[in-house]
A and B are shown apart, each in its own frame.
Chain A
Amino acid sequence: MGVMKRMSGILQAKTNKLLDKAEDPRESLDLSYQKQLESLQKVRRSVADVTTAKKRIELQASQLQGQADKLQNQAKSALTQGNEDLAREALARRAALAEQLTDLKTQHDQVSGQEEKLIATAQKLQTQVDSFRTKKETMKASYTAAEAQTKIGEAVSGISESMSDAGMSMQRAQDKIDGMQARAGAMDELLASGALTDLTNPVDDIQAQLDKASTTSTVDAELAALKAEVGTGAPPAPELGAAEHEDSAS
């Protein structure tokens, strides 16, 4: 047997759970409409959940990106100072971060895809529920009891099937997010615990080496300037005079 017939059975089983066995078919229209409103709310909540998951990934990615940029700049500074080994170390750490970033981007694409689909599902269901609301009054008024039985039953089954479909879409999105949440949680913990710090927050070592080198070169420059000043011996009058005075006094 093909897949379509079996899928149809699965969807039908889910849909049956949504159907009320109202004695008066007209009554089933109102009952179904209540369920549709609840279903719409659930889909909207699900969209919000997916959006939250997406934002979380974006935040983590921007944190990692910031650290990667910093390492890139440090590699540049190290090269400027002629320290190739340090530059290499910074770039190596940056490469490790880039790998994590690629992974986050893949997750982001998946969540965005789910978000897009769920938004479309919510909009479609909204349209259907809206037209069901206007149609149900007409149906109540215009059908004879015998007609109502079949026509209303079909309409209610039809829209209930759409709700089941939306329910499956939500479940799918939720499953995808659940898998990611676990990884995102682990990443948050790593970021918070500082376990990634050695790798991503180079203040302690790379930055310290850069700072040290730059302090050394600043001191060298000042020393050279002083030497030049003393060498020419041109006295900026008052202070040098005072110093001479002290010198002679001692």
Chain B
Amino acid sequence: MIVRILGEGQYTVPDERRDALGKLDDAVAEAVDRGDQARFAEALAALTAEVRSSGVALADDAFAPSDLVVPFTDSSLEETRALLADHGEGHEGDDR
């Protein structure tokens, strides 16, 4: 699967890392829901590290849409929350 880290680029991450990624992703979401800034920064760093270490950076001439997107690595909790809220948690697109 292809994962984009916003502001950085795309990585091809092996499908067998999906569960691991999912757990780290849930930790980020939980921190956002709780409004725990310190935990959020930690969880986001862990998620980003997993994408970078288990993935391979996509070549600049390989153009492919991403399956998953990681927020900007230096995002604040408020920024991420605002971004998610701003877009009705993804109901804008093909969720319907």
Contacts and interface: CB of A to CB of B under 8 A. Distances in A.
Which of A4, A117, A155 lies at the interface centre, i.e. has the most chain B CB atoms within 10 A of its CB?
A4
A8 B87 CA distance: 11
A9 B63 contact: no
A244 B86 CA distance: 97
Contact of B25 (A4, A15, A157, A172): A4
Q: Is the interface of A mostly helix, strand, loop or mixed?
A: helix
Question: How big is the B interface, by class?
Answer: 35 or more
A158 B66 CA distance: 7
A161 B72 contact: no
B60 A165 contact: no
Nearest to A117: B7
Interface stretch (A126-134, A179-187, A214-222, A226-234): A126-134
Size category, A interface: 35 or more
Contacts of A159: 63
Interface in A6-36: 6-13, 15-16
B93 A2 contact: no
A8 B3 CA distance: 9
Interface in A109-142: 113, 117, 121, 124, 127-128, 131-132, 135
B38 interface: no
Contact of B84 (A3, A132, A169): A3
Contacts of A117: 7
B81 to A, nearest CB: 10
A74 B10 CA distance: 57
A155 B62 CA distance: 8
Contact of B64 (A9, A158, A169): A158
Interface of B: 3-4, 6-7, 9, 21-22, 25-26, 28-29, 32, 47, 60-72, 74, 79-80, 83-84, 86-87, 89-90, 92-95
15 contacts: A1-B89, A2-B25, A4-B47, A4-B69, A8-B67, A11-B69, A13-B90, A15-B65, A121-B7, A128-B61, A132-B61, A165-B4, A165-B6, A172-B7, A172-B72
Interface of A: 1-13, 15-16, 113, 117, 121, 124, 127-128, 131-132, 135, 154-159, 161-162, 165, 168-169, 172
